[in-house]
Amino acid sequence: MSALKNKRILLGVTGSIAAYKACEIIRLLRKSGAEVQAVMTKSATEFVGPTTFSALTGKEVLTDMFIDPPPPGEIHLHIAENVDIIVVAPATANILAKTAQGIADDLLSTVLLVSDVPLLFAPAMHHNMWQNRATQTNMDTLKKHGRILIQPDYGSLANLATGEGRMAEPAVVVSKIREILGIPQDFHGKRVLVTAGPTREPIDTVRFISNRSSGKMGFALAQAAIDRGAEVTLITGPVYLKSPEMCSVVTVETAEDMNRAVRKISTQQDFIIMAAAVGDFALPSPQKSKIKLPNHTLTLKLQSTPDILKGLRSISDAFIVGFALETEDGEKNALKKMKEKRLDAIVLNYANQPGTGFETDTNEGTLFLRGEKKGIHLPLESKMKMAHRILTEVKKVAAKEPMKS
């Protein structure tokens, strides 16, 4: 779960009221595996103390060009050479002006001038400052110089006035960083619903029927979709996994709960990926107290749980992907399920092969897509890699044929 693993990001923080939003950017970047070095301007330290940034980055925060005693070499060169990208968020009108004009009068502006890695700015300021012709001219100059700018949002500003100038949300800044660093953002603007994990059907107050699903495949799919810019909702049964960041998580227990949660939002989705191992049977009325076993045997009467996939097509225009976990006759069963439930795609995987199916970190299978005669073999690899491959193939087919209306 680390799309930005081994990426080194320099985050410049300048003197804006939005400086606190840089804390969330650091948190999200580090959660994605990136190493973050913060450089603050003198004004920025008036808004949020360097202690906060050093705690969040796990590194000393750099604020000064001239340090006593002086470190060996040239600090600005050293910093600029050892990063993959420099992000200035929030970026004041002042830093935009200085960078556009090539002014280097403090550590951050000097690093920006000396650097040859991609430079990303997320401006934040009062709407009059933003609309000022000088600022707009500086923005044009920066674009001409190949700098990347994230348009500020329209909304409520620090002085409660409304206008254009609010810094873009941290998640948007992080998504742009990913794009610049080569992680495709082909799901940007798409809403993706993923279900994961097992369900639990109660027998009595302390016991339940469940299955061995760990939720790892569904969580990997959710993370992969987030990393590729999607707005993700993850509906998960009880699992022991950390929920992904930048995603809305709904936790459920029974198949009935999951059915309700899915139906509630299925009409608003572009993609629905049903990776959960939903229990097939439940007790019609579980006992409200702990069952005693007088005769050493217990007979349970079970009835089938709601079929979540069935009928989803008639209420949602989303591209629907199902999962078929089989032990034998896999292809026949998967294709039958795909046809009967009118799915756009189905992932066949096996519960009885080493390294695949439940609980493992790896998986192997076959992806069948609507309109394609042959299935695509998904080789044995990490669930995260498989998740990315599924998204890539699904996106190709969805782009070819518009979603049903």
Ligand X SMILES: Cc1cc2nc3c(=O)[nH]c(=O)nc-3n(C[C@H](O)[C@H](O)[C@H](O)COP(=O)(O)O)c2cc1C
Residues designated catalytic: 211
Helix 50-57, helix 21-31: angle, nearest 10: 10
3-state secondary structure 213-225: CCCHHHHHHHHHH
- Within a 10 A sphere around the Cβ of 309, how many other Cβ atoms? 23
Q: Which is nearer to ligand X, 14 or 363 (by Cβ)? A: 14
Whether the bond between 170 and the residue before it is cis, its omega within 30 degrees of 0, is no
Q: Note the maximum CA span of the chain.
A: 87
Minimum Å gap between C-beta 121 and ligand X is 11
Q: What is the 3-state secondary structure (H, E, C) of 320-387?
A: EEEEEEECCCHHHHHHHHHHHCCCCEEEEEECCCCCCCCCCCEEEEEEEECCCCCCEEEEEEEHHHHH
Residue with Cβ nearer ligand X (84 or 106): 106
**Shortest distance, position 17 Cβ to ligand X, whole Å:** 4
Pick between residue 63 and residue 305 the one whose CB is nearest to ligand X. 63
**Closer CB to ligand X, 93 or 225, in the complex:** 93
Least distance between ligand X and beta carbon 133 (Å): 15
Least distance between ligand X and beta carbon 69 (Å):
25
Task: Kindly state the smallest distance separating residue 71's Cβ from ligand X, in Å.
Answer: 22
Residues that bind ligand X (CB under 6 A): 14-18, 41, 43-44, 92-95, 124-125, 129
Residue number with CB closer to ligand X (39 or 194): 39
